[in-house]
Structures are given as C-alpha cells and as structure tokens.
Structure 1
Amino acid sequence: MLETYLTDRDADASLRIRTAAVLLFARQGYAATSVRDLARAVNMTNAGIYHHVSSKEALLADLMREAHRGLIDSTVRVLAGVSGPAERLGLLISSLTAIHALNPMITRVMDGELRSLTPASSAYDEIIGLRDAYEDQWRRTLADGVAGGVFRVADQRLTRLALMSMCTGTSEWYRHDGDSSLDQVCAEFVAIGLAAVRAPVPMITRPDLSLLPIYPWEPPDVLPLSAPYRS
C-alpha cells in the first residue's frame, strides 16, 4: 500500500518525500499543499522535511526539472536514427502518450505547475528552457514535414498544441485495466495525428517502452484523477 510505503521509516526518506509531494501536488495542487501536509503524509516533522529539501518551491522545481530532463532524454533515444517526418511524428505522439499514461501524477505536476514557480527566477527560466527544448522536437518535425511536402498543415503552432494536448490528456483518464490497452490508445492517437497533417500512418510508430523515462517518485497503483472513467 502506498500509505504504508510513505510512512515506512526504513525506506529512503528523500524518495518518500518526493513521492508524497508528487501525489499531493497532483491531487490537490501545489498552492493547496503545505509542508505540514507533506510531513503528515510521510510521518515526519516539518524540521525533518527541511532536512531533505530547502523549501517547498525548491522541491517542486527539482521534480519538474528531473521530469523534463527524463522526457527530453527519452525522446532523443526514441527518435535516434529516425529521419522521416511521419515516422518521427508518430513516435513523438506515441511516446508522449505512453509517458503520460504510465506516469499520470508526475506528468500532471510537470505540465500544470509552472505557474507556481516564482516568475523570472532561475528555476522558472530553467524549466521554461527545458520545456522549449522538448517542444522543439515537435516544431522541427512539423516544419520538416511541411517543407518536404509530407504534411499539409495550415497552422503549425495550433497543430502542435492540439496534438500535444491530445497526448498529455491520457494522464487524466487512462487506466491500465480499462477497455483499451496502451498499445491501442497509442495506435489510435497516431492515426488521428497523422490524419490531422494529411499524411499516411508509417509502419513504425510504437516506441520501445524500455527507452521511456523511469520516475522513481511516481506514486504506484494510484487511480487517474478522473476515475472511475474507463478508457
């Protein structure tokens, strides 16, 4: 049970704190979560929390930084050696979908809590830079497809935002025991995405799941935020 793990004093304290933070930030929001809430979740004192993290905002920034780095690094691995824009777009869609479906809590924090970092702070600027570095993969892929006549897109920015939103939405509703498997969801999203850019679906669109990031502080066995909806 997650609660048992979070309060297990024999387990790594830093990891327990981060797991609890991801769960609480995703469930009730960063602003509504206090250090006292974190301390209660892991059966520690406030002073014990501050022994491992300098501040609540620093903890959020660290979680977002590592989540974005994992997303970027895994995307580079997934796209290695793939040159065709249709193949690249298919892999971008399926990998982003899978990452959000498999890690619904940390991806919700990564996607939704930038607003909670102090504007113009070094942490804020760093996360913006990491986010832009990831989205550049999508920008270049769409631009290459349009330039090569493979894609027909009226507005590349709106297309990118629409496709990425489709993928990231799986963190809200996907369930591993739902009516559709992750492979089926990824395949359908790839078909939708390639239809949106007027391109045929390529042969290779499923990422090697072993190349996707592993987030050790993703709370295990937690229902998605919009449960009981079944995929």
Structure 2
Amino acid sequence: MDTGLRIRTAAMRLFAGQGYAATSIRDLARAVDMTNAGIYHHVASKEALLADLMRLSQLGLIDATDRQLANLRDPAERLAALITSLTAIHALNPMTTRVMDGELRSLTTGSSPRDEIIALRDLYEQRWKSALADGVQQGAFHVADQKLTRLALMSMCTGTSEWYRPDGESTLEQVCAEFVAIGLAAVRSPAQVTMRLDLTLLPEYPWEPHDDPRVAPAGRTTP
C-alpha cells in the first residue's frame, strides 16, 4: 500500500470512528507511523484531506448510481435501482458513508471544497428528484410531497451504515428487496419490480476494511 493510500485509510478510520473534530494530525501520524511533518509532505491540511476523501466518495457514489441507472427509463425501475444502490453502498461501506454523510459540517463555510461537495451532493440527489418527478408526471407515482418522500426514502437507505452486518438475520439482497417494496409502496406504485443486486456496479473504496475481520465498521477494532 502506497503512502498516500495508507494516510487516506488511516484518516477515514479515524474520522469515522472518533469524528473529524476529535482527530488531530498527531493522531493520524501515529496511526501510520510517521511524523507530523511527514504527513504534511503528502497532504496540505487535515481539512484538505477530509475534502479529498469526501470528493472521492461522492464521485464513486455518482458513478455507481449512473451505472445502475443505465438504460432504465421506467420511473419504478429507476427508483428501485436508486434504492438498491444507495442501500448497498451504505451497508458495505460504513466508514466511507459515515464520513461522506456526516462531516460536511467540518468543511469551512464558503470555501471552495465545501461548495464543491455540496454541488456533488446536489448532483446525486438530482437522480432521485428526476425519478420521482417523472413518476408523478406519468401517473405512475402518487406523492403528496416529493421532497419529503425523497428524504424519507434516502434516510431509510443510508441508515444501513449504522445497523447492517453481513452476519445478521437478513442478507443484503433481502434488505434491498424489502426496501424497494417499501419505496414503491411509499409512492403508491402498483409496479412489481425485482432489482438484482450487482456488486460489480458498486464503487470500490480502497480504504474500507472488507477483507480484514479484525476491523469492525467505523474503525472499531474487534476483540
């Protein structure tokens, strides 16, 4: 693992596990066995490192979503794909998504990095807005408040980063299928959509410890 990736991996674990504000450059340097000066040789600042991680995370989310949506025109299928993708990404990448979703507040208000992350989040949410709006316009969805419906469905999906475990009672495929059913019921769609979970379409975040059984989500080390 090269030095840049080592630093990103340690930073993601620390930011997810104890929060950005509680993490110092000294903590990061200790985690990768470097000096503070050595860290600054690779990153301009702690905030720049956070912005870089959030940017890469958001771009991965957008790219994966667009691959899921490719060639889908039916609003119900698009909504099912959005629910499946967002649910799976959060379930499988709890560290990344916890930082991506929760640390915007740590970027300086009015700064270019913060504005860029907000723009990327808006770009992603536009996929949801379009699917819901098209469904309503075509008479396929019956929604009183599209914004509230969108926020409720997205919150349902993102919550898997907090509770999903691979060894839990339900498989990820089952969770995604149930969430799709809930989502279609929420928009009062009569459609019956079966959306296959294709893991090859999901983003790859190299700092997520998928293959290390000693590392639990959010950077907590298991006994």
| TM category, shorter | over 0.9
Give the deviation of 1:217 after TM superposition. Answer: 1.5
Query: Residue deviations 1:20-61, cap 9 Å, x none?
Result: 111110111100100001011111111111111110000000
Q: Distance in 1 between matches of 2:74 and 2:164?
A: 29
Match of 1:128, as an amino acid? Answer: I
Q: Distance in 2 between matches of 1:80 and 1:150?
A: 20
Query: Residue deviations 1:126-167, cap 9 Å, x none?
Result: 000000000000000000001111111110000000000000
Question: Which residue is 2:149 aligned to?
Answer: 159
More off after superposition, 55-64 vs 215-224: 215-224
> Please, which of 166, 189, 203 is the counterpart of residue 199 of structure 1?
189
Ranges in structure 2 where 5+ consecutive residues have no aligned partner? none
Question: Which residue is 1:28 aligned to?
Answer: 18
CA contact (8 A) 2:177 2:194 kept: no
Matched, 1:47 2:37: yes
Q: Distance in 1 between matches of 2:47 and 2:209?
A: 20
Question: Which residue is 1:64 aligned to?
Answer: 54
Aligned length: 216
Matched, 1:17 2:10: no
Give the deviation of 1:204 after TM superposition. Answer: 3.6
Give the deviation of 1:86 after TM superposition. Answer: 0.3
Matched, 1:95 2:88: no
Q: Distance in 2 between matches of 1:163 and 1:155?
A: 12
> Please, which of 202, 223, 226 is the counterpart of residue 216 of structure 2?
223
Residues 129-144 of structure 1 aligned to structure 2 (within 5 Å): 129-144=119-134
Give the deviation of 1:74 after TM superposition. Answer: 0.9
Question: Which residue is 2:118 aligned to?
Answer: 128
Q: Distance in 2 between matches of 1:223 and 1:194?
A: 33
Secondary structure, in 3 states, of the residue corresponding to 1:157?
A: helix
Q: TM-score, normalised by structure 2?
A: 0.93
Give the deviation of 1:201 after TM superposition. Answer: 4.5
Give percent identity, aligned residues only.
74
CA contact (8 A) 1:15 1:217 kept: yes
Q: TM-score, normalised by structure 1?
A: 0.90
Matched, 1:169 2:159: yes
**Considering only aligned residues, what root-mean-square deviation do their CA atoms show, in Å?**
1.3
Query: Residue deviations 1:174-223, cap 9 Å, x none?
Result: 11111111001101111111111111343342342101110112234432
> Please, which of 99, 103, 107 is the counterpart of residue 117 of structure 1?
107
CA contact (8 A) 1:173 1:224 kept: no
Q: Distance in 2 between matches of 1:147 and 1:209?
A: 32
Match of 1:31, as an amino acid? Answer: A
Match of 1:132, as an amino acid? Answer: D
- Structure 1: which 4+ aligned runs deviate by more than 6 Å? none
